[in-house]
Amino acid sequence: MFMPNRTLLKVIVLGDCGVGKTSLMNQYVYKRFSKQYKATIGADFITKELEIDGKQIWDTAGQERFQSLGTAFYRGADCCILVYDVNIVKSFETLQNWHDEFLKQVNPSEPDTFPFVLVGNKVDVDGGSCRVVSERTAREWCASRPGNIPYFETSAKEDYNVDDAFLCIAKTAMVNQ
Ligand code: GDP
Ligand code: MG
């Protein structure tokens, strides 16, 4: 069906196991949070219909999980969200691998301007007292990448900044449509 003002965005969410990828998406799409932990290996992607600047971004509702991430998973990606846990340094250190793997798989024609967004999640944990990666360090990482990677600090648990992060992601992705 032809839908002139609708754009389907494929947003891929990458990051270490347990950083909160699924929780962020659930919070964004369904406005709910669960303490239950079902491991997702590598990534998820979501789909949601939303409206930005009068344009509808069309997608089906729901979410899918993948056990292994082959080329098909990445194919047609419009944007990539890289997520780490601000309380776990390793999840920050592996961002570069996720970033590189993504570019390798997607192989975009202009990798330097491909839309990435960085999300530092779980800022709520113990009121921030176990935090090990500072906002400044994260912003420095963003600044050291080609392009200008936007950065958001979120809590999927407390629904802090989640909508703003996803809105930015959609806008970033749409620029490349
Ligand atoms: P994924 O493997 O990256 O998809 O991670 P999940 O979304 O499954 O989350 C892993 C665990 O972290 C779950 O127990 C979540 O409830 C918890 N979690 C996710 N986001 C947050 C958050 O912002 N704050 C807190 N305190 N816990 C979170
Ligand atoms: Mg998951």
The interface predicted TM-score (ipTM) is 0.99
The alpha carbon of residue 163 and the mean position of all alpha carbons in its chain are separated, in whole angstroms, by: 12
Residue 54 CA to ligand 2 centre (angstroms): 31
Instruction: Identify the pLDDT of residue 171.
Output: 78
Residues 153 and 128: beta-carbon distance below 8 Å: no
Q: How confident is the model at residue 49 (pLDDT cuts 50, 70, 90)?
A: low
R_g of the chain, CA atoms, integer Å: 15
Burial code (b: 16+ CB inside 10 Å, e: under 16) for 61-88 equals: eebeeeeebeeebbeebbbbbbbbbbbb
- Give the pLDDT confidence of 124-162 residue by residue, as tens digits: 999 999 999 999 999 999 999 888 899 999 999 999 999
User: Is residue 60 over pLDDT 90?
Assistant: no
Residue 122 Cβ contacting ligand 1 at under 6 Å: yes
User: Is residue 37 over pLDDT 70?
Assistant: no
Residue 155 CA to ligand 1 centre (angstroms): 9
Bridge partners of 63, per DSSP, are: 46
Q: How far apart are CA 152 and CA 57, in angstroms?
A: 21
Task: Specify the residue with its C-alpha closest to ligand 1, atom 15.
Answer: 35
Residues 26 and 32: beta-carbon distance below 8 Å: yes
Bridge partners of 81, per DSSP, are: 13, 117
Mean pLDDT of 15-33: 79
CA angle 96, 100, 102 (to 5 degrees): 120
Residue 66 CA to ligand 2 centre (angstroms): 10
Residue % of the chain over a pLDDT of 90: 37
Q: How far apart are CA 23 and CA 30, in angstroms?
A: 10
Ligand 1 pocket mutation, candidates 16, 23, 91, criterion most atoms within 8 A of CB: 23
Q: How confident is the model at residue 65 (pLDDT cuts 50, 70, 90)?
A: very low
Q: How confident is the model at residue 75 (pLDDT cuts 50, 70, 90)?
A: confident
Model-level pTM? Answer: 0.83
Residue 121 Cβ contacting ligand 1 at under 6 Å: yes
| More reliable by pLDDT, 9 or 39 | 9
Mean pLDDT, all residues of the chain: 77
Q: How far apart are CA 59 and CA 56, in angstroms?
A: 9
For residue 160, the ligand 1 atom closest to its alpha carbon is: 23
Residue 91 CA to ligand 1 centre (angstroms): 13
Residue 107 Cβ contacting ligand 1 at under 6 Å: no
Instruction: Identify the pLDDT of residue 74.
Output: 76
Least confident piece of the model among 34-43, 89-98, 107-116: 34-43
CB under 5 Å of ion ligand 2: residues: 21-22, 40
User: Is residue 54 over pLDDT 70?
Assistant: no
| More reliable by pLDDT, 39 or 87 | 87
